[in-house]
Amino acid sequence: MERTLYQDLLRWKNSKRRKPLLLQGARQVGKTWLINSFGKSEYNNYIYLNFEQNPALRTLFTGKLSPKEIISNLSLYLGKKIEAKDTLICFDEIQAAPEAITCLKYFQEQAAEFHLIAAGSLLGVRVGKKNNFPVGKVNFMTLYPLSFVEYMVAIGEELVVEQLSNQVAINALPELLHEKLLRHLKMYLFLGGMPEVVQDYLDHKDIETVRIIQKEILEAYLRDFSKYTTPDQAIKTSEVWKSIPFQLAKENKKFKYNAVRPKARASTFEQTIKWLRNAGLIHLVNNLRTPKLPIAGYADFSKFKIYLLDTGLLGAMLDISSDIILEPIRLFQEYNGAFIENFINNELIKIGKKDLFYWTSRSDAEVDFVIQEEREIVPIEVKSGLNKNTKSLRVYANKYQPKLIVRCSPRNFTRSDDFINIPLYGIFTLKHLLEKLLIEGISNR
């Protein structure tokens, strides 16, 4: 199963500023598979060590943490000499071995010739802790569930992806192709992007098994709450986690603490939300008071929405039945458009828009996402139905005069003056299209 991050790993391998790499990402997004594939394909020698499967490996990292001694100990353990040339070493589930995390610093300083990747399902939680973390001594990458593009490639639709990726103008697609892409999107929304789920469906086409696997993944996350937090914190984490689908199902999707527990305040759950975010399980979109640069300087971080890492898991938590896939746009509109907003959020992050915001007026206007592209601020409204209404976008535009306003909806590609409509399945083209339009200065209106 192709992952776009593979190309980033190749660039890391050949980079002059290569350091030990920390590959972050939630449990079961495919980190181990990707590293194994990369290591076996791109190196003559690949050494894989898993600290969760074999806790005794921690003893090789006690005492003096010099790379020379660690490599010597690993050589004795493996029964073969480890050479730096054309060798990749993987420390998997490294969050279970804090000493191994610390030693990455010394590999960067004293043994930069070694190619080393560390990964872990709760690595983001460990990274959030300051004790002995190798600040400035590592490179970072994050792996997410499969994007819609990766899903399309997995099902053999590379040509469509290539056509969309290379389009140079905002022109409507043939209606037959547009409808086909919407059907693929509905299936993707139901399946989500967890690799095991997608692969099982490709192999067996069994929707019932898909839901079983999704439930198993959710159960594994719940076990992590107990395994990697205190008992009190585990209860809070579970409460917040279970409330998210129903927070998204509200008309007003702003996260409310009292929807988790009556009379709860921010102080009760702040650390819980931070833990879930560091674990890669949720994404936050903060409220933007005024769309000015620097955009983060005008955010209200006390107001935010929370989205799940995967629409398939969101559907499993809400027990959405598979027959909804057969209906034209009902899945898009289900639970007040929760799936579509969650999908757009995740896709924006996967194309590099990691700092996301939303804007509300004092009345009833709301723009779902506000992003920065170069020196421009771009508002994005998400529509789950075919309604052409752009009231909120126009309220925003009249107030702030942006160069472009964007709507994402089930409608085809459309452009009219400063307004563009991008079909939901085409959100991955947004960055490319914005770059082109902003460079043109919106001259071809």
Beta bridge partners, 89, equal 47, 116
Beta bridge partners of 348: none
* 176 in Cβ contact with 160 (< 8 Å): no
> CB–CB of 393/405 below 8 Å?
yes
Query: How many other C-beta atoms lie within 10 A of the C-beta of residue 4?
Result: 15
| Buried-state track 368-399, b at ≥16 Cβ within 10 A, e below 16 | bbbbbbeeebbbbbbbbeeeeebebbebbbee
- Please tell me the distance from the alpha carbon of residue 70 to that of residue 52, in angstroms, as a whole number: 18
Q: What is the dihedral of CA 55, 59, 65, 71, to 10 degrees?
A: -80
For residues 115 and 364, give the distance between their C-alpha atoms in angstroms, rounded to a whole number: 54
Q: Are 306 and 247 in contact (CB under 8 A)?
A: yes
At 61, which amino acid appears? F
| pLDDT for position 124 | 67
Q: What is the CA radius of gyration of the chain?
A: 23
Residue pair 68/111 in contact (Cβ under 8 Å)? The answer is yes
* Predicted local confidence at residue 123, as pLDDT: 75
Structure tokens at 361: 């007026």
Placement of tokens 């992050």 in the chain: 349
Q: What is the pTM of this model?
A: 0.94
> Coil, helix or strand for 303?
strand
Enumerate residues 6+ apart whose C-beta is below 8 A from 210.
Answer: 190, 191, 197, 200, 201, 312
CA distance 429 to 53: 40
Q: Which domains, from first to last, does the chain contain? A: 5-142 (3.40.50.300), 148-440 (no CATH)
What's the pLDDT at 364?
A: 78
Q: How distant, in Å, are the alpha carbons of 36, 266, 382, 398 from that of 103?
A: 22, 36, 45, 55
Residue with tokens 């400035």: 136
- Starting at the edge strand found earlier in the chain, the sheet holding 139-142 runs 45-50, 87-92, 115-119, 21-24, 139-142
351, 428 Cβ separation under 8 angstroms: yes
Q: Are residues 200 and 209 in contact, defined by beta-carbon separation less than 8 angstroms? A: yes
Q: Rounded CA gap, 108 and 92, in Å?
A: 18
In the numeric block, the tokens 């490639």 are attached to 153
pLDDT < 70 stretches in the chain: 124, 126-132, 441-445
Q: How far apart are CA 24 and CA 26, in angstroms?
A: 7
Q: Are the CB atoms for 48 and 82 separated by under 8 Å? A: no
CA gap 295, 246 in Å, rounded: 29
Question: Element (H or E) spanning 180, and its range?
Answer: helix 175-191
Question: Could you tell me if 302 and 294 are in contact, meaning their C-beta atoms sit under 8 angstroms apart?
Answer: no
Show contacts of 254-260: CB within 8 Å, 24+ apart.
254/287, 254/303, 254/304, 254/305, 255/304, 255/305, 255/306
Rounded Cα distance, 49 and 56, in Å: 11
3-class secondary structure, 24: strand
Give the Cα separation of 116 and 67 in Å (integer).
11
